[in-house]
Structure 1
């Protein structure tokens, strides 16, 4: 929680994978709030293996913090294949827009995010800097 590190089993329909995002550091956050971290994904042979992945994580001492139930609609422009604009609806939390750029150049990626968000007229919307995990955890606290 303190480092915003994430190890999870992701499920989408007939697809499942184990995903890891390293902890956050000053280097992963730009001055304008853009977060840029590498993500390591291991695709499971079938969605039926997701419960086994859960069991493996528990066996090595991991604890389930929260289950994030998300419905995502993704948009891509054919001229910008490395840019995705996602509309995410989180159960019990709300809806969010995420602009994602796949790039090894964090500065160029941040500039492209800014350009896309200006063109979509969402650049001045409030930015949520917490991960969905934290937002979902807060919504389950009574």
Structure 2
């Protein structure tokens, strides 16, 4: 697997992010969806990576700088045809390493509280993320869980 800095212009990434947004719409009510579209991910405070294997896009992930010591994981997604192959683990390792390189002290994320998001929550917990209160501009929401880790 190769992780590449991505400029969000390729049709493959547009399709994967569309799949991501459709999945969020299927599992989360509108007021609880925090996934970003292409334009939302093209902000200067967000760094976006795509993951490729044998010329095929297999996943993606992003890191948003909340402030100079705190980052947020955004847009973690594995292509539905590559689930349970270690893609998410590889992306998460990459994002954590980048956060450490930036000297962040904390890395946080928001994900869904529903059953469909259980694999993601287990993955984050396996890396040492712990449940926390809402951070940044998030508010308490029964459809969201918040996790964080000290770096």
Higher relative contact order (CA 8 A, sep 6+): 2
Q: What is the TM-score when the length of structure 1 is the normalising length?
A: 0.32
TM-score (norm 2): 0.30
Q: Which has the higher helix share?
A: 2
> Based on CA coordinates, which of the two structures has the bigger radius of gyration?
1
